[in-house]
Amino acid sequence: MATQTTAAPNGVVQWFEERVRATALFNALLHVPIPVEAKTYYLGGITLFLFMVQVATGTLLSLYYKPTPEAAYDSVKYITSIVEFGWLIRSIHHWAANGMIIFLLLHVIRIFVQGVYKYPRELIWVFGALLFAVTIGFGFTGYLLPWDQKAFWATTVGTEIAAAVPFIGESLLQLLRGGPDVTDATLSRFFGMHVLVLPISLALLLAAHLTVVHQLGIANPKRPEPRPGQLPTPGLVQRWKPFFPHYVLDEVIAWAILLALLVVLASVSPAGLEDKADALVTPPHVKPEWYFLAVYQLLKVVPAIGPLTARDVGILIPMLAMVVLVTLPFLDKNPEVAKRKRPVALIIAAIVLIGMGILTWYGGQIPAVAVAAS
Amino acid sequence: MDPVTVGSPGSGSDPHVQAEMGRRRFVRLLLGFSLVSTVSMIITPIVGFLIPKKVEGASGGGKVLAAKVADLPAGSGKVVAMGSKPVVVVNGEGGVKAFSAVCTHLGCIVEFDATLKHIVCPCHDGHFSPASGAVVSGPPPKALATVNAVVEGDSIFLVAG
């Protein structure tokens, strides 16, 4: 009997193995060596974990959320105050969204500083940059769903930005809003994008991103792959460590710590809700979420240049920055990865980051200061 | 089918090869055309579906009561709805004036600041003149659109068109 009990799992595993042939797949996915020098600082893995948290909490929220202007605000209120643990699920969704942006940004900075976006990993960067754009899209579309004042006006300003895109601006605005103004049609579209279009896009891009990472392996920041026609440095021996379980275990520990942190943040500072959206009143001191503050402030401070109005300049700069971000591996022709041999790229990146930091901080100040100064 | 029967005699050095190439090119062209047609057939209804229908605004015409004169003393202003469109009505030095309340910068709703005597946008601190709607300061690219305001008796009306 005891023999039968211990043999049963093997029998079940064997039964599935014969029908799925999963061992070979798991071996190919998990049992890969990675360079000892590869330090990822958990940033990409945590971003992936936060996306999984968003899928789980977002699915739960969608069971109660009603995407109509009449019902959206009250349904969010209902989730927050009546549904058991609703406040927790919503607040974790809120904090995980913020965390996803933070860790994605840090991941991008880490990849840039280590120079591991260069040959042969250009496509990994391109998929990653597109993932960044999709994540920002999540923030933007999710913002409107509570249908409060902040949501309504952030969306009004954000979609108005699209209207200033040369030639196609007006059509783009109509396409985003589902009409000339932010209405129930906009809410339906944003809900559809937030729960279907963007998750599917993100999943596909993530699959592409991770597939290429798996195929090329995690980069060694100290020793880039030799380019075509280039010989490897003689006398250097690459040391490896196993991806599974060493690396995976480290990541899982980081995920567990982060999950605990999310619960603490959700408890200490739960997601808020402002007054219900009013299309006739823009509240004073209205501001978007922190990750849009730099663009928001840029739109306020940039001057008109030549035939371009200040608004055009303020919109073209972030658009151009996004194009540069996606195409960076093809613009940066310097083959070096060592930091001391890439001073120009690192200084430009530092200036951009400091500039964004200043704009974000400045944008976060209360407008009363600006009014008093002017 | 035998390629020889398709080739046109005397049209080249090797009629077999020429016939083969001609047929391949034709099939490729046909496949390409089918592909473009199929993609177009799929994309056209999707794009058509996504483009919103034009809806006539509720402010299509007519006269809308904005306020009683007594409710809008000199040096004050308020935002009222003209159908679905917000309008800022100001009783300033030049009399009662009305403008679209949608900021020309990024679409926020402006309001009259009685202390500064300006129409102000709360989003990016754009200032407009309450007399003409022109930009006084800040990033808005153009003046607020004028709306006809008429005082009849003790009432202020907004007239569309």
Q: List, in sequence order, every residue forming a beta bridge with B79; answer none if it has no partner.
A: B88
Q: Of how many residues is chain B composed?
A: 161
Classify A37-223+238-274 by CATH class.
mainly alpha
What distance in Å separates residue A218's CA from the closest CA in chain B? Answer: 38
Give the CA dihedral A243, A246, A251, A252, nearest 10 degrees. 120
Residue pair A35/A238 in contact (Cβ under 8 Å)? The answer is yes
As a whole number, mean pLDDT of residues B92-111 equals 92
Q: List, in sequence order, every residue forming a beta bridge with B151; answer none if it has no partner.
A: B156
Residue in A160, A282, A367 nearest the CB of B125: A367
Residue pair B79/B54 in contact (Cβ under 8 Å)? The answer is no
Among residues A216, A235, A151, the alpha carbon closest in space to that of A186 is found at A151
Please give the Cα distance from B110 to B101 (Å, whole number). 5
Residue of A nearest to B124 (CA): A300
| CA angle at A297 for the pair A291 and A302, rounded to the nearest 5° | 135
Residue pair A285/A365 in contact (Cβ under 8 Å)? The answer is no
Chain B contact for A14 (CB, 8 A cutoff)? no
- Chain B interface residues facing chain A, Cβ-Cβ under 8 Å? 50-52, 55, 79-81, 84, 86, 101, 105-111, 121-125, 137-141
What pLDDT is attached to residue A215? Answer: 92
User: Which positions in chain A touch B51 (Cβ < 8 Å)?
Assistant: 171, 174-175
User: Which positions in chain A touch B121 (Cβ < 8 Å)?
Assistant: 282
Best of A282, A308, A309 to substitute, by most chain B Cβ atoms within 10 angstroms, is A282
Q: Of how many residues is chain A composed?
A: 374
Instruction: Please judge whether A285 and B79 are an interchain contact, meaning their C-beta atoms are less than 8 angstroms apart.
Output: no
What pLDDT is attached to residue B56? Answer: 60
Which residue did the predictor score with more confidence, A221 or A324?
A324
What distance in Å separates residue A178's CA from the closest CA in chain B? Answer: 5
Instruction: Please judge whether B51 and A174 are an interchain contact, meaning their C-beta atoms are less than 8 angstroms apart.
Output: yes
N- to C-terminal Cα separation, chain B: 72
Interface confidence (ipTM) of the complex: 0.72
Question: In the predicted model, is pLDDT for residue A39 greater than 50?
Answer: yes
User: Which positions in chain B touch A279 (Cβ < 8 Å)?
Assistant: 84, 86, 109
What distance in Å separates residue A161's CA from the closest CA in chain B? Answer: 7
Q: Where are the domains of chain A?
A: 37-223+238-274
What distance in Å separates residue B137's CA from the closest CA in chain A? Answer: 9
Among residues A157, A145, A101, the alpha carbon closest in space to that of A297 is found at A157
The domain defined by B63-159 folds into Rieske Iron-sulfur Protein (2.102.10)
Question: In the predicted model, is pLDDT for residue B99 greater than 50?
Answer: yes
As a whole number, mean pLDDT of residues B68-81 equals 91
As a whole number, mean pLDDT of residues B102-111 equals 93
Please give the Cα distance from B29 to B20 (Å, whole number). 14
Can you spell out the DSSP letters for B36-53? HHHHHHHHHHHHHHHSPP
Instruction: Please judge whether A174 and B108 are an interchain contact, meaning their C-beta atoms are less than 8 angstroms apart.
Output: no
Instruction: Please judge whether A157 and B123 are an interchain contact, meaning their C-beta atoms are less than 8 angstroms apart.
Output: yes
Among residues A57, A265, A283, A54, the alpha carbon closest in space to that of A148 is found at A283
Residue pair B4/B15 in contact (Cβ under 8 Å)? The answer is yes
Instruction: Please judge whether B108 and A284 are an interchain contact, meaning their C-beta atoms are less than 8 angstroms apart.
Output: no
Instruction: Please judge whether A367 and B81 are an interchain contact, meaning their C-beta atoms are less than 8 angstroms apart.
Output: no
Confidence of residue A2 (pLDDT cuts 50, 70, 90): very low
Size of interface A-B (CB pairs under 8 A): 77
Question: In the predicted model, is pLDDT for residue B10 greater than 70?
Answer: no
Q: Where are the alpha helices (DSSP H) in A70-225?
A: 72-81, 86-114, 122-144, 149-163, 169-177, 184-192, 198-216
In the three-class reduction of DSSP (H, G, I as helix; E, B as strand; rest coil), residue A131 is classed as helix
Q: List, in sequence order, every residue forming a beta bridge with A276; answer none if it has no partner.
A: A148
User: Which positions in chain A touch B109 (Cβ < 8 Å)?
Assistant: 279-282
Please give the Cα distance from A247 to A33 (Å, whole number). 10
Residue whose entry in the numeric block shows the structure tokens 């980069």:
A219
Q: Mean pLDDT score of chain A, rounded to an integer?
A: 90
Residue pair A331/A125 in contact (Cβ under 8 Å)? The answer is no
Instruction: Please judge whether A282 and B137 are an interchain contact, meaning their C-beta atoms are less than 8 angstroms apart.
Output: no
What pLDDT is attached to residue A91? Answer: 97
Residue whose entry in the numeric block shows the structure tokens 């391109």:
A126
Please give the Cα distance from A134 to A203 (Å, whole number). 10
Q: HEC string of A278-316?
A: CCCCCCCCCCCCHHHHHHHHHHHHCCCECCECHHHHHHH
pLDDT digits 0-9 by tens, B14-46: 777 787 778 999 999 999 999 999 999 999 988
Q: Scan residues 123-142 of A and list those with Cβ closer than 8 Å to B.
A: none
